[in-house]
Amino acid sequence: MSATLTKTDIRRLSRSELEQALIVLGEPAFRGRQIYEWLWRKGATAFSEMTNLSKALRQVLEEQFCIQPIVLDKAQYSLDGTIKSRFRLHDGHLIESVLIPVPEEERFTACVSCQVGCSLTCAFCATGRMKRVRNLEAAEIYDQVAWVNRQSLEHFGKPLTNVVYMGMGEPLLAYRPVMESIALLTSPEGMGMSPKRITVSTAGIAKMIQKLADDGAKINLALSLHAADDAKRNEIMPINEQNNLAALMEALAYFYRLTQNRISYEYIAFQNFNDSIEDAAKLLKLCKRFPVRINIIEYNPIDGAPFVKSAAHRIDDFARHLREHGMMVTVRRSRGRDIDAACGQLANKE
């Protein structure tokens, strides 16, 4: 067993726990606050970087604790400016994150992963074909945002404006680290981001949506809907069999009632499956109980899946029908498809 594995990862400690640990070492509590700032606001990945600590204290920290940052394994650059990054974790597992730049709208978004693999087996998603290995730690999620922020500054001269939990994994099945990472991202001692700039996307787990509401989450919530009736949704998203649309609508209404936070539906359009005007009419019925925005997404093919991208005119007709009935609709054209960085394509491919 390596020495690193016998040490405590210092980034698992809260600020108060760090302060207490420093008191035990015979140091004043404010040293813990200094270390916390180094770890989160300044992004230190080694104790040697903490230059306002004595060499003796840095040595003690080195002996008792470790820092396990993610490491960039590979970066791919799309013709449209999208950057996909593959990161290696301390235990050798790989995850992916994506920088989605829209310079003309001054929007620079990090799409981050929360699990190694995924357990939900959605039929249209490459990640769903990987088994779930483990949840990420909060620090591993935070590191992705920090990395992608640096990429945004380097390539576009702009910091991130948004973070979406839409990468590998189901965020509500990694609830603790996801919420801890959001607390770090929004803390003045971390990145100081507004929670209104953060969106958590879920395939739909009713009891966990209710827990988000009970916990007073201030983030935006996106439901990966993709079909507006249970029969079709069961066919492409097995999670719907235990979390049907009636249960999800009840949970979302509860979430909105308690938080007033923005809710959106993500809707991938599949040719001749869910893209008819009849499907749009069914979708409208799911938009009556609370304000909702609809994002229609182009399908991005993955190997072995039987789906075909809906024709542009069918997507336009679908969106027009929704708008004519007062819905706020955005058609999201795929970005990063040439590097397998688009929605549903993250799978650690070489």
Q: Please list the active-site residues.
A: 96, 343
* Rounded CA separation 68/116 (Å): 16
* Rounded CA separation 350/347 (Å): 9
* Rounded CA separation 47/57 (Å): 9
Complete DSSP assignment for 175-208: HHHHHHHHHHHHSTTTT---GGGEEEEES--HHH
Could you give the 3-state DSSP secondary structure of residue 228? coil
> How would you classify residue 170: left for phi > 0, otherwise alpha for psi between -120 and 50, otherwise beta?
beta
Measuring CA to CA, how many Å separate 214 from each of 152, 180, 218, 251?
A: 34, 16, 11, 11
Measuring CA to CA, how many Å separate 106 from each of 76, 152, 159, 343?
A: 22, 11, 10, 21
Residue 51: how many CB atoms within 10 A of its CB? 9
Measuring CA to CA, how many Å separate 39 from each of 45, 90, 161?
A: 7, 17, 22
Question: How many Cα atoms are found within 13 Å in the side-chain-facing hemisphere of 263?
Answer: 28
* Rounded CA separation 316/67 (Å): 49
